[in-house]
Structure 1
Amino acid sequence: MQERQWAADACKGDEIAFHELINSQKRKLYGIAYSYLRNEADALEVLQETVCRAWMKCGKLKDPDTFIPWLYRILMNCCVDELRRRRRVDVISQEPQQGTIEMVDVNKLDIERVLNRMKPKYRHALMLKYYQDMTVPEIARILEKPEGTIKTWIHQGLKQLRGQIEQGGGWDHE
């Protein structure tokens, strides 16, 4: 597979291979960042930070086969860092940014609100599974956990999601 070769070359310092590898993953990376941050500018900024961190540390990666899960893990950590930074900043206004009008499904907002209140391990597993259509083995590689653990996290996360919605945490809009 060409990605494996790019990863091997990138880990040896080949900038072109690194660029090709990042380019092959950019849509999926952006999708994950946007699903966490819900803001295009922040998602792009986090992507840039992810690429910088990956380039600076890819020489230390021992197994090129783990490059892509490792890259997703860096991205998720950058997203979590950004969310923490947001929480520290006092929010002056909840209104949309000037000039931005976005139609939003109210039910989707409820699910996202419940997801944001979940433990990170459940939220990560559910977002990768249902927002990014990843398989359990892919999620296990990214989160560096056994597949059984990922299945449990998905099950527990869905259970929490259902519980929150039944308690009025969502879908009160009929």
Structure 2
Amino acid sequence: MEIEKLARKAIKGDDDSFLQLIQLFKIDLYKTAMSFLRNDQEAIEAVQEVTYRAYKGIRTVKESFYFKTWLIRIMINYCNDQLKKKKIVLLDDELLKSHGVSENHNKLEIKDAMLSLDERSREILTLKYFHDLKIKDIADSMQCPEGTVKTWLNKALKELREKLEEKGENLNV
């Protein structure tokens, strides 16, 4: 696969390969930033900052196959840091729809429910439902067993459902 080849070169210090990878994934980075930050300028700034952070830390990537996951994880961490500063947690409409929550539901209640979830839960939900990563890929990127990721994912979904049911919402997952 060409991406893996580019990632291997980038890890070894090839700047051109790194730039090609960033070009390939810049839309994914932007979409991730927008789903968290909900602001075009902040999302663009996030892509720039994450590109810089990735460039500085490229040599820490252990497996070239997981370059994209590593990059997205940097973005998620950056966005979570930004949201902590603002004390705001936003939920993307795609995630809502994937769980059968229609646009008619009170999004403020859903955002409140997400606010109660811990960072790890939000991260796992983002990787699973925004980036359609498999449990195995999430486990590898988080350096933990697949069973642990499944447990965390189920716990996050259960907590989200419970919070919404408390407010009279019904989330069928």
After TM superposition, the score normalised by the length of structure 2 is 0.78
Equivalence map 1:1-40=2 (5 Å)? 1-40=1-40
- Which protein is bigger by CA-based radius of gyration? 1
Quickly say closer, same or farther: Cα 1:62–1:156, change in 2 above 3 A.
closer
> Superposed, which structure 2 residues align to 1:141-156 within 5 Å?
141-156=140-155
Q: C-alpha offsets along residues 46-86 of structure 1, whole Å, 9 cap, x if unaligned?
A: 11111001111213444433432222221122112111222
What does residue range 1-174 of structure 1 map to in structure 2 within 5 Å?
Answer: 1-87=1-87, 105=103, 107=105, 109=107, 110-168=109-167, 170=169
Structure 2 residue identity aligned to 1:73: R
For structure 1, the 5+ residue unaligned runs are 89-104
Structure 2, unmatched stretches of 5+, are 89-102
CA distance 1:106–1:30, shift in 2 (3 Å): farther
Aligned with 2:48: secondary structure?
helix
Amino acid at match of 2:29: L
User: How has the CA–CA distance of structure 1 residues 169 and 27 changed in structure 2, closer, same or farther, with 3 Å as cutoff?
Assistant: farther
Figure out how many residues of one structure are paired with residues of the other and give that number: 156
1:116 partner letter: L
CA contact (8 A) 2:80 2:119 kept: no
Change (3 A) 1:108 1:29: farther
C-alpha separation in 2, matches of 1:149 and 1:106: 34
* Aligned-pair identity (%): 35
The alpha-carbon deviation at position 123 of structure 1 amounts to 1.5
Deviations 1:115-163 (A, max 9, x none): 1221111111112222332221222233332211111111111111111
Q: Which runs of 4+ in 1 moved over 6 A?
A: none
Backbone CA RMSD of aligned residues: 2.4
